[in-house]
Amino acid sequence: MRKWCASLIVFFAVLLGIGFPAYRWMHTSVENARVVHRSRMRPIFLVPGSSASQNRFNALVAALNRQTTGHSYVKITVTESGKFKQSGRIAARDRQPYIVVAFANNQDGYPNIQRQARWFNIAFTAMAKKYHFDRFSAIGHSNGGLVLTLFLERYMNQADYTMQRMITLGSPYNLEESKQANRTQMLTDMIRMKKRLPVNLTVYSVAGSESYTSDGIVPLASVDAGKYIFQNQVKHYTMITLSGNNAEHSDLPQNQETIDLIKQDLLIKNQRPALRP
């Protein structure tokens, strides 16, 4: 009888030891899921191109905040070791802050663009964990658009996050190549992995046309090569060509038509003013 009672006590002790941690894990997982589901934040990530710093979008954000309800402005620079430095804070009630992700190693070339996509994923994951958002949009200037595309194809878990809209500005999907028949290894790789792109994504590819063949740096045909990646793969893909004033490569982020596109298609309408952090 004593042995039977002892065995019964041991059985319930083991059951309690297994069941309680399992219950806590399940409760925590459900609560975390509820936090993400309740999150109304939909940040806009901005990624600069080669040789550009975290200050690349200062003029763009300043213009947007003059013309719309003010949004927080956070700037991050990721080092080669995967650590990052952050300046600025997200204000209370700000549903759509601007988050710039730049790279200490901002050199050009496909191998480095691949590294930058991995570094961007580190910063993105940290921000998503901290602020519990599950929807976002993004803007990439020049190689920044390539970084975002590689991030979508290689790193983003579509079960957890949704990129709603992406704007690329002068992004050279075929690098310096002006003939689309001569596909670079990068373009070939992106086409091969395009099935991993979010099917509900809306993409605007903005090109500058200083000379009707390039924006002064990037060939127009290289920007246009993005159609081989996005057409018939994402929900909407539109290429927009800008000409006239501020249509040069370095001016595209400050171009008023770019600003109007962001205001119309990326920003949440009727957001209440954010409280200062």
Residue 87 region by backbone torsions, left for phi larger than 0, else alpha for psi between -120 and 50, else beta: beta
Torsional sign, CA 254, 99, 102, 112: negative
Contacts of 201 (CB under 8 A, 6+ apart): 152, 163, 164, 165, 166, 234, 235, 236
Q: What pLDDT sits at residue 240? A: 96
Q: Is the pLDDT confidence value at 33 over 70?
A: no
pTM: 0.84
At which residue do the structure tokens 């990129």 appear?
163
What is the CB neighbour count within 10 angstroms for residue 210?
17
pLDDT digits (tens, 9 = 90+) for 3-23: 555 554 544 454 445 544 544
pLDDT digits (tens, 9 = 90+) for 102-146: 999 999 999 999 999 999 999 999 999 999 999 999 999 999 999
Q: Which is more confident, 204 or 180? A: 204
d(CA 83, CA 172) in angstroms, rounded, equals 28
Residue 56, token pair as written in the block: 């690349």
Q: What pLDDT sits at residue 38? A: 45
Q: Is the pLDDT confidence value at 225 over 80?
A: yes
Residue 261, token pair as written in the block: 């596109």
Burial class of residue 275 in the structure, from the number of CB atoms within 10 Å of its CB (0-12 exposed, 13-18 middle, 19+ buried)? exposed
